[in-house]
Amino acid sequence: MTDYPKTSRLMQRGTDFLGCESAILCGAMSWVSERNLVSAISNAGGFGVIACGAMTPELLDAEIAATKAMTDRPFGVNLITMHPQLFDLIEVCSRHAVGHVVLAGGIPPKGSVEAIKGGDSPARVICFAPTLALAKKLLRSGADALVIEGMEAGGHIGPVSTSVLAQEILPALAEDHLIFVAGGIGKGQAIAGYLEMGAAGVQLGTRFACATESIAHPDFKKAFFRASARDAIASVQVDPRLPVIPVRALRNKGTETFTAKQIEVAGRLDRGEVEMGEAQLQIEHYWAGALRRAVIDGDVEGGSLMAGQSVGMVREEEPVAQIVATLMAECEEALGRR
């Protein structure tokens, strides 16, 4: 592996924690972050993360086993906190001795962090923190590391930009805790800046979505290559009763369909045809299905093309190893100019 002394020094805490050569995590992208992409990222010196999403324990078991067959390097598993079988999924990770579990989608439910860190094969816990107050709470609750992700990211997003989160959280916590920065990162120069601010590493999703090893449909990848940053827009909440977390995706007919879906569900709620919980679940199910149609089936008009604003920097299909090498070289060059 090429030597990147300045970058490696600043990433040291992150690489020691993850057990890899480059503290570059892959964001867990449903339908995309599976065995092929995850193993390729870990084999390239980064840290791949399986997106469990709505998988059953049996499917996750098979996915972890298949990934382990393709790499002997460390990788993690991303679990959604609202999954009805969360503790069964945690057990699957433990059985496979997965070293790192990422909890996403909300505050970890009671006992989940303890379940991950206990047992015969304890793992390290990584959580997402959208505010400084929540970051402190998660660390007190046992999180070993945090990811702070700004609104520039793809998929479900929060309301604050990456640069603001970094300025707020890194000076307060990075000296004593492991903080990874995510959202809108497409170049090594940005990585250099966050490392200098105290980040232990970074997480990227959009840049890896169109890698050669990604199983995403060719038409899905072509949509990314054609897009600019302004094409990746956040969804609009139509009815305040439906607490829809905004989703950033490329503008298409599917974006318009989601707005119509919210109006339809709100109408059913008004007529008493569905309860609030069911209404919210219907919204989430929409996204799961729409994303699969785009990634797997190649429906780039009606499906959901979840992408971060860094999509404008994705111009061609590249092998994962080349993407990682480019990011590291850009970061090293930027640090050398300081």
Q: List the pLDDT tens digit at each of the 338 positions of the chain.
A: 579 999 999 999 999 999 999 999 999 999 999 999 999 999 999 999 999 998 999 999 999 999 999 999 999 999 999 899 999 999 999 999 999 999 998 899 999 999 999 978 999 999 999 999 999 999 999 999 999 999 999 998 999 999 999 999 999 999 999 999 999 999 999 999 999 999 999 999 999 999 999 999 999 999 999 999 999 999 888 887 776 778 999 999 988 888 888 899 889 888 999 888 788 777 777 877 899 999 999 999 999 999 999 999 999 999 999 999 999 999 999 999 87
For helices 86-95 and 57-70, give the axis angle rounded to 10 degrees: 30
Residue with tokens 């993360």: 49
Query: Given this structure, which CATH class describes domain 5-216+315-336?
Result: alpha beta
Using alpha carbons, list the distances in angstroms from residue 335 to 9, 22, 132, 264, 298.
11, 15, 27, 52, 40
Beta bridge partner(s), residue 249:
233, 306
Contact criterion met (CB below 8 Å) for 19 and 145: no
Q: What is the pTM of this model?
A: 0.95
If you ran DSSP here, which 8-state letter would residue 47 be given? Answer: B
Contacts of 189 (CB under 8 A, 6+ apart): 330, 331, 334
Contact criterion met (CB below 8 Å) for 332 and 189: no
If you ran DSSP here, which 8-state letter would residue 229 be given? Answer: G
Residue spans per domain, the chain: 5-216+315-336, 228-306
